Amino acid sequence: MTAVPGLGRPKEAGSERHGCSAGMAIFSVYVVNKAGGLIYQWDSYSPRAEAEKTFSYPLDLLLKLHDERVLVAFGQRDGIRVGHAVLAINGIDVNGKYTADGKEVLEYLGNSANYPVSIRFGRPRLTSNEKLMLASMFHSLFAIGSQLSPEQGSSGIEMLETDTFKLHCFQTLTGIKFVVLADPRQAGIDSLLRKIYEIYSDFALKNPFYSLEMPIRCELFDQNLKLALEVAEKAGTFGTGS
Amino acid sequence: MLCWCGLRPSWTLETGSSLSPSLAAIPMTVHNLYLFDRNGVCLHYSEWHRKKQAGIPKEEEYKLMYGMLFSIRSFVSKMSPLDMKDGFLSFQTSRYKLHYYETPTGIKVVMNTDLGVGPIRDVLHHIYSALYVELVVKNPLCPMGQTVQSELFRSRLDSYVRSLPFFSARAG
């Protein structure tokens, strides 16, 4: 259990216990307030598919700068897909378009004197700003889903399915949305959403120092949420480890 | 708590006498269908059972639908923890389910159905390949990038959808 008492929203606290997370079927939890602002976020530590290869000049991949990251635009092969970001060069981590020791990535890779070079590619992790934007985006999409309904009295988007994850959303009567991203085969997420609502009422709302609609920074909320997630994963897993 | 089951009168065995009792108890139907091209032009729209209109003019509704789908695709590609192959497949609310199929050329087939309907990717693919490609793309008189005027396409699509196993012609 992390010793940092509720500091900041995007906590990679799951990394502390990743040793026993074989088959982390619940990927993330988001809590969105009435106005669409993100007030809580949790991500599980999931080892993302990464590929590290040594390249010689000239690079046969096309890299471009997009959203402050260096992404692969063309040249998909060997585990390196379009959309993957440059994560590290020669073992040194890359932050945005600069390496950790201050070199600009595209310039460095354009210079033949730096080759052969070993580059690690992988799916980029979301920054906290991006998570904020995605939460607001989902808030609007939820409402549009209700407006475009061909039937009367529809709610917003309650479940969104893709081939790699399923997003479940529960909106309370007060307008708070609890969003959980999980493996498509994971069951019992509906009851998990209700449980998270209970934990929110017990440990955030009843906390006298918590202001409504503000980011949740309550240690007890974090602890109980993690416990509930562990219980839900064990209860709902149908061989996702295979 | 949403008790939508209490508001649905067709939970009794009054639909489809030819169906077995368990199937007849689940009302399944297709509400409407949209077809978009890669630029957001609505190529075709049909409706079968739609109880509630969007409250905005049809042109705006098409744009809103396209915009929503565009945003959902971008949202999903950012949120996904792994690399995606098929991408966004469907979403459901408390009352309907929206199924989505996109081709590599950017043609989007969108169908709204009842909640009881499972994955129908093959149905949407058939609408694209056997109906749209055969009757519209291969027709030299059908201009691309505009609403489809072909009456043959409209009638074949209509009869195909009505023949689907999950389409039940409910009264009213």
CATH at residue A74: 2.30.42.40
Same domain, A147 and A115: no
Determine contact: A129 vs chain B, CB below 8 A.
no
Which of A70, A87, A122 corresponds to the end of one domain?
Answer: A122
pLDDT at B21: 45
Q: Residue B93 is nearest to which of A83, A137, A145, comparing CB atoms?
A: A145
Which of A77, A100, A122 corresponds to the end of one domain?
Answer: A122
Same domain, A139 and A211: yes
pLDDT higher than 90, residue A82 = no
Dist. CA B107–CA B34, nearest whole Å: 11
Q: Decide if B31 and A123 are in contact by the 8 Å CB cutoff.
A: no
Same domain, A64 and A111: yes
Q: Residue A164 is nearest to which of B54, B68, B82, comparing CB atoms?
A: B82
Q: Decide if A160 and B76 are in contact by the 8 Å CB cutoff.
A: yes
Average pLDDT, whole number, for chain B?
85
Q: Decide if B82 and A159 are in contact by the 8 Å CB cutoff.
A: no
Query: Among A67, A84, A151, which would you mutate to test the B interface (most chain B Cβ atoms within 10 Å of its Cβ)?
Result: A151
For chain A, how many structural domains are there in total? 2
Single pTM value for the model: 0.83
Is residue A199 included in any domain, yes or no?
yes
pLDDT at A80: 87
Is residue A12 included in any domain, yes or no?
no
Q: At B156, phi and psi to the nearest 5?
A: -65, -40
Same domain, A150 and A98: no
% of chain A exceeding 70 in pLDDT: 87
Q: Decide if B52 and A150 are in contact by the 8 Å CB cutoff.
A: yes
Is residue B6 included in any domain, yes or no?
no
Is residue B73 included in any domain, yes or no?
yes
Domain that holds residue A193: 26-46+127-235
Same domain, A131 and A104: no
What number of residues does chain A have? 242
Q: Where are the alpha helices (DSSP H) in B25-168?
A: 58-79, 121-126, 151-162
What SS3 state is found at B68?
A: helix
Average pLDDT over residues A55-63: 86
pLDDT at B48: 93
Kindly list the residues from chain B whose CB atom is less than 8 angstroms away from the CB atom of residue A134: 75, 78-79
pLDDT higher than 60, residue A18 = no
Considering only alpha carbons, which residue of chain A is nearest residue B75? A134
Same domain, A214 and A132: yes
Q: Which residues contact B132 (CB under 8 A, 6 or more apart)?
A: B35, B43, B107, B109, B153
Same domain, A103 and A199: no
List C-alpha distances in Å: B123 to B102, B117, B161, B163, B168. 12, 12, 9, 11, 16
Same domain, A145 and A65: no
Dist. CA B99–CA A71, nearest whole Å: 30
pLDDT tens readout for residues B89-141: 999 999 999 999 999 999 999 999 999 999 999 999 999 999 999 999 999 99
Q: List the Cα angle A143/A148/A150 in 5-degree steps.
A: 130
pLDDT at A19: 39
Same domain, A42 and A54: no
Tell me the residues of B at the A interface, defined by beta carbons under 8 Å apart: 2, 4, 7, 31-32, 47, 49-52, 54-55, 61, 64-65, 68, 71-72, 75-96, 98, 112
Domain that holds residue B137: 28-165
Dist. CA A68–CA A23, nearest whole Å: 31
Same domain, A226 and A135: yes
Which of A103, A122, A141 corresponds to the end of one domain?
Answer: A122
Question: Which residues, in sequence order, are bridge partners of residue B102?
Answer: B108
Is residue A40 included in any domain, yes or no?
yes
DSSP-assigned letter for residue A1:
-
CATH classification at residue B53: 3.30.450.70
Dist. CA A42–CA A29, nearest whole Å: 5
For chain B, how many structural domains are there in total? 1
Q: Residue A144 is nearest to which of B49, B64, B83, comparing CB atoms?
A: B64
Is residue B4 included in any domain, yes or no?
no
- Supply the ipTM of this predicted assembly: 0.82
